[in-house]
Chains A and B, each alone.
Chain A
């Protein structure tokens, strides 16, 4: 058993406001952790800590055995993040954005073309991202997140703005990796989760194997 993520009492505060408090959990390599919780519960903060973009203010966080943030540089290339923001330059095309990220991650250009096809953007690949619909932006952002074949995928509501057919078509790109996914869909989220985490006011109100979690427990988080 290889541990991909190990958090021990992780907290993060913005000034006086605690966004995350004392979160402890373990995720094995290949597992999917689905994080539930109402808006402002700390889901996005947790993802940004795991992505090495935010320092935890308390506790210790390890990703692939490397302590964050001290050894963050060792794991950056192994993490893919799809957050609320697409992390794409609006005035550049999808192809230009992906080629830019491919060069940063030392990924061959052929992978960019492969992904543009896979996410169904090949026909509009040279148009500026600013001209895309929200669903198309989400597809381009997803291509960016998996461009370098990350071992750990951090996905903040990855199916937002995608129609059911697009969500299903993109599923293979997200599979076969360690994943942390935030979701507001109890049924869909539990179906793909190995471990479920429920956050409320930045604290872990629920942490259990997904098979042992009921829809009622998830619903309780939102009351």
Chain B
């Protein structure tokens, strides 16, 4: 845990110092909502369209985070510094996933109110906030796991800004589908009740399976 804490603190410190990821992600998402606001033939959206816009915007804003996740490590020798230490390399994956999860949560604190303000027709009740937070948290975890894994592969390639999204997007399709379907009842006019349990279960299972898979394959990925 000491190693994880050191890695995570380093990640968050670097982001606070450079502000390279979260502000860009937030700006991108708000700008996208503004474009949708003016680009769609309707002033407000609801249901599956609203869920789709929210999830896809989150996905592409998250890609900006994925592309920056390992850049400082690759360009400033952080990988070598870490690899020289007598520690389990899996901690690096866990720290990266937790850092990106944190960035996504901060992003959503900005992004969801902007979405409600600019695009969403139905009013979100307080009772719907719990399920909304729950499904977004599971989606964030899935995204962070895939991004922390794929980012480590992409950053060592020349076309890293292209390779990362190219590999990650197909892997994230199940997260996009489950999150959008899960959010749809919450974003529909006159909706009552919470998120269908099926989609929550699918997201949780996806997070678990890919979390275990990533832990298993991450160490060899860092090998020369």
Contact = CB atoms under 8 A, between A and B. Distances in A.
Given A92-B10, A106-B2, A55 B87 contact: no
A54 B223 CA distance: 8
Given A54-B224, A91-B14, A85 B84 contact: no
A57 to B, nearest CB: 10
A66 B171 CA distance: 39
Given A55-B224, A104-B85, A85 B77 contact: yes
B85 A83 contact: no
From A69, A79, A104, name the one whose CB has the most chain B CB atoms within 10 angstroms: A104
Interface string B1-17: 01101100110011001
A136 interface: no
Contacts of B78: 87, 89
A167 B16 CA distance: 35
Interface residues of A, number: 31
Interface string B72-106: 10001110111111110000000000000000000
B18 interface: yes
A79 B213 CA distance: 31
B3 A87 contact: no
B86 A100 contact: no
Nearest to A102: B6
A103 B86 contact: no
Nearest to B81: A87
Interface residues of B, number: 24
Contact of A103 (B3, B13, B18, B76): B3
Contact of B84 (A81, A88, A89, A92): A81
Given A89-B76, A92-B13, A79 B84 contact: yes
Contacts of A135: none
Interface in A67-103: 69, 73, 76-77, 79-81, 83, 85-92, 96, 99-101, 103
A83 to B, nearest CB: 7
B17 to A, nearest CB: 4
Contacts of B81: 87-88, 101, 104, 144
A51 interface: yes
Contacts, number: 75
Interface string A108-136: 00000000000000000000100000000
Nearest to A90: B76
A52 B72 CA distance: 21
A146 to B, nearest CB: 12
A3 B165 CA distance: 48
A76 B80 contact: no
B220 to A, nearest CB: 12
Contacts of B18: 91
Contacts of B86: 73, 76-77, 105
From B3, B17, B18, B84, name the one whose CB has the most chain A CB atoms within 10 angstroms: B84
Nearest to A141: B77
Contact of B85 (A85, A96, A101): A101
From A53, A80, A99, name the one whose CB has the most chain B CB atoms within 10 angstroms: A53
A87 B77 contact: yes
A101 B82 CA distance: 8
Interface of A: 51-55, 69, 73, 76-77, 79-81, 83, 85-92, 96, 99-101, 103-106, 128, 144
Which 5 residue pairs spanning A and B have beta carbons closest together?
A77-B86, A103-B6, A87-B77, A104-B85, A87-B81
5 contacts: A51-B84, A53-B224, A77-B85, A79-B84, A128-B17
Given A77-B86, A89-B10, A96-B13, 9 more contacts: A81-B84, A87-B80, A88-B76, A89-B14, A92-B17, A96-B10, A99-B6, A104-B85, A128-B17
